[in-house]
Amino acid sequence: MTSPSFPAAPDTAPAPFRSFASDNHAGVHPEVLDAILAANADHAIAYGDDPWTARLGEAVRREFGERAEAYPVFNGTGANVVGLSAMLPRWGAVIASELAHVHTDEQGAPERVGGIKLLPVPSADGKITPDAVHAHAGALGDVHHAQPLAVLITQSTEVGTLYAPEEVRAIADAAHGYGMRLYVDGSRLANAAAALGTSLRAITTDVGVDALSFGGTKNGAMGAEAVVVLDPAAAPGLAFVRKAQMQLASKMRYVSAQLLALLGESDGDDPLWRRNAAHANAAAARLRSLLDDDVAAGRVRGLGFAGPTTVNATFAILPKPAADRVRETFPCYDVMPGPEAGTVVSRWMCAWDTTDDDVDRFVAAVRSALS
């Protein structure tokens, strides 16, 4: 038998492809993959009547409280549209920040699929306050106006800011005072809880949130989110809405198994969601601190920041050509024009698997782009 001939091994391995553009660019955490593999045995009843989805229900009650109900879905946009649709009557509208993902990045899905009017309110830091709720409440009862019957906040926000638990409570109280419901886009709820050092429950159930999306995909899942209903009276018929809006998985065990891997199955665990979120946040904090030191020491010029780094995203202000040079090595997005002509705000995002070496190489690319 003759040996096959192989091409000679290259002298140097190609640099691994690493990205700072989105936490969605990271792969799947091995514990999640193991959970998917473990779920891949025998047959299981479809559409959620399987043991993994039942165990997920228990995990969600443990994390969010006894009344919590979990509805696994495929993606974050779907979670938002299903959750809001179930909360609102046909004439309902949602008050949200003008930077909210539902308004800027979901291709009009809440409007197109859910028939929901969004009422965007100005917001520089991605957050809204009770004032926005009071301002829209005047439309209640006026037949000419879409009825503002829900408020949406994103935690952590699209621009990397956080709502303190008492800020959420104030919005919930204002909303409930008018009979409105409060929904949280929790695509990065894990990052928020890890950064605030709280439980998931402390920033949702305990401060008056009625329903939320719990994001798994950015936190190390392959593709799994859940609508979590905290007050069952707030979202009647959600199971029907999920099917009608094409978010009901037949082989739901695989979606549920991923979320279960993130949430863990017992009280004593340090759950994977927290480990992954804390890791991503810490990588972002390290990136920021290295560059803060460079700016303070005058080693790089022309670099500023649009706000503090509190979770896993840093919003840097730099000349557009420098942002383009960084992009020659690492993908990242410019999200808006900077405050001065010729500058941009570039979003640099870390993930559950961002390594110290990734951060060091990224910082070196920024230094070189600004030198």
Residues that bind ligand PLP (CB under 6 A): 75-77, 101, 154, 158, 185, 187, 217
Residue carrying structure tokens 């209903």: 229
Cβ distance to ligand PLP smaller for residue 123 or 147: 123
CA dihedral 159, 112, 89, 170 (to 10 degrees): 10
State in angstroms the smallest separation of the CB of 262 from ligand PLP.
15
Cβ distance to ligand PLP smaller for residue 280 or 369: 280
Do 140 and 175 form a contact (C-beta atoms < 8 A)?
A: no
d(CA 52, CA 260): 8
Cβ distance to ligand PLP smaller for residue 101 or 253: 101
CA atoms within 13 A on the CB side of 170: 12
Q: Give, in degrees to the nearest 5, the angle at Cα 278 between 277 and 283.
A: 100
Cβ distance to ligand PLP smaller for residue 23 or 353: 23
State in angstroms the smallest separation of the CB of 253 from ligand PLP.
20
Cβ distance to ligand PLP smaller for residue 185 or 210: 185
State in angstroms the smallest separation of the CB of 76 from ligand PLP.
2
Instruction: Quote the distance between the C-alpha of residue 213 and its chain's center.
Output: 9
Q: What residues form DSSP beta bridges with 315?
A: 347
Residue nearest to ligand PLP (CB): 76
Cβ distance to ligand PLP smaller for residue 48 or 160: 160
State in angstroms the smallest separation of the CB of 26 from ligand PLP.
13
State in angstroms the smallest separation of the CB of 284 from ligand PLP.
15
Among residues 98, 89, 97, the alpha carbon closest in space to that of 116 is found at 89
State in angstroms the smallest separation of the CB of 216 from ligand PLP.
9
Q: How many CB atoms lie within 10 A of CB 261?
A: 30
